[in-house]
């Protein structure tokens, strides 16, 4: 077999065609801008072409480099283009989720062992209290949301995310463990309200048949977390923990405000689909 023979994956080709048809039908009801259509079509093309072209044969039988390129096209380049072609509410929710993984979760996740050891000078027990405080706040936020009726979910996502970053700005300056625990409880509550709201927006604005696939794309934004952790480790060595934490929190706050401003017509009005009760 020639290395340049065409590979053929009919299932993925059929799924790409089905996605294009569904997008076309949705576009007839709510016409998207031209660049959104181009972005969605480019995403489908990258994914389908990588599996139905000579690249598939090269990746499967000849070159590891082609296999890595194929993975990048399918998992890293195609999905973001598909996301750009989706509805504004979905794009806003996914941007918030990626932003949180990049700038918020590193401070209350991977960096907690460093914080416990180097900032609060405590042991494994103290680390457990720090982790449990954030988790307890998340649980309280989830319970409070289930008991609430008539919540404007997009507005809640904006407010909760801004509150989350505000609490992180306080947390990185605290040097008292009991006060830090209380701060993490509040941060956990805000985090829960923010991330649940983003998930609800995605579920509401996606058609029933595609909700599982949309949530699968939502899971991919977790790739922001390792990027945030890697950058944080280097920055702490250069400018210190407090400055790094404040940089992350302030950057996240500004970026969240920019997201809310950019998609204000789709997130803030009471009659917006993302705020439907």
Tokens of 110: 């991977």
Digit-coded pLDDT (tens) for 11-35? 777 888 888 887 787 777 777 778 7
pLDDT, residue 210, reads 64
pLDDT at res. 207: 66
Percent of the chain's residues with pLDDT above 70: 90
Residue 24: inside a domain: yes
Instruction: Based on the fold, state whether residues 124 and 32 are members of the same structural domain.
Output: no
Task: Note the pLDDT tens digit of each residue in 234-253.
Answer: 999 999 999 999 999 999 99
The answer on 113 and 77 residing in a single domain is no
Half-sphere exposure of 111 (CA within 13 A, CB side): 32
Q: What is the CATH number of the domain that holds 139?
A: 1.20.1250.20
Strand, coil or helix: 172: coil
Whether residue 5 lies inside any domain: the answer is no
Report for 24-28, 49-53, 148-152: range of highest mean pLDDT:
148-152
Examine the domain organization and report whether 43 and 31 are in the same domain: yes
> What does the pLDDT read at residue 151?
86
- 209 and 265 both lie in a single domain: yes
Examine residue 147 and state whether it is found in any structural domain, yes or no.
yes
Residue 96 and residue 40 share a domain: no
Among 67-81, 158-172, 222-236, where is mean pLDDT lowest?
67-81
pLDDT: which is higher, 44 or 113: 113
pLDDT single digits (tens) 72-88: 777 667 776 777 677 77
Say yes or no to pLDDT of 2 above 60. Answer: yes
Same-domain pairing of 242 and 149: yes
Interval 246-263 mean pLDDT: 95
Joined tokens for residue 18? 């089905």
Domain identity same for 199 and 122: yes
The total of structural domains in the chain comes to 2
Alpha carbon distances (Å) from 156 to 171, 186, 248, 259 = 22, 15, 22, 14
In a domain, 235, yes or no: yes
Identify each DSSP E strand in 103-246 by its residue range: none
Domain ends where: 26, 59, 84? 84
The verdict on residue 3 lying in a domain is: no
Question: Which domain-ending residue is among 36, 63, 84?
Answer: 84
DSSP string, 2-54: -TTPPP--HHHHHHHHHHHHHHHHHHHHSPPPHHHHHHHHHHHHHHHHHHSSH
Supply the pLDDT for residue 246.
96
Is residue 99 within 8 Å of residue 256, measured between CB atoms? yes
Tell which of 84, 107, 133 closes a domain: 84
Domain membership of residue 243 as a residue range: 88-275
Looking at the fold, whether 227 and 271 belong to one and the same domain comes out as yes
Same domain for 64 and 139, yes or no, is no
Query: Coil, helix or strand for 258?
Result: helix
Sign of CA dihedral 67, 68, 71, 72: negative
Q: In the prediction, which pLDDT does 44 show?
A: 85
């Amino acid at each position: 077999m020639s290395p340049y023979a065409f590979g053929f994956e009919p299932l993925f080709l059929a799924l790409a065609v089905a996605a294009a048809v569904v997008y076309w039908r949705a576009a007839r009801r709510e016409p998207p801008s031209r660049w959104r259509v181009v972005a969605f079509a480019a995403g489908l093309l990258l994914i389908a072409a990588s599996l139905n072209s000579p690249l598939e044969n090269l990746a499967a039988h000849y070159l590891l480099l082609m296999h890595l390129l194929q993975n990048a096209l399918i998992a890293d380049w195609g999905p973001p283009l598909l996301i750009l072609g989706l509805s504004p509410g979905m794009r806003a929710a996914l941007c918030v989720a990626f932003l949180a993984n990049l700038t918020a979760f590193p401070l209350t996740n991977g960096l907690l062992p460093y914080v416990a050891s180097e900032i609060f000078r405590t042991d494994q027990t103290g680390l457990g209290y720090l982790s449990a405080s954030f988790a307890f706040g998340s649980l309280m936020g989830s319970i409070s949301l289930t008991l609430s009726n008539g919540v404007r979910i997009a507005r809640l996502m904006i407010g909760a995310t801004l509150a989350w970053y505000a609490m992180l700005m306080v947390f990185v300056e605290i040097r008292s463990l009991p006060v830090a625990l209380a701060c993490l409880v509040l941060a956990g509550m805000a985090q829960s309200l923010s991330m649940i709201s983003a998930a609800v927006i995605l579920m509401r604005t996606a058609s029933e048949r595609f909700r599982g696939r949309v949530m699968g794309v939502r899971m991919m934004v977790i790739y922001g977390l390792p990027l945030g952790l890697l950058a944080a480790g280097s920055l702490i060595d250069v400018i210190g923990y407090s400055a790094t934490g404040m940089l992350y929190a302030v950057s996240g706050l500004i970026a969240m405000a920019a997201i809310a401003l950019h998609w204000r017509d789709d997130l803030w009005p009471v009659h917006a689909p993302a705020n439907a009760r």
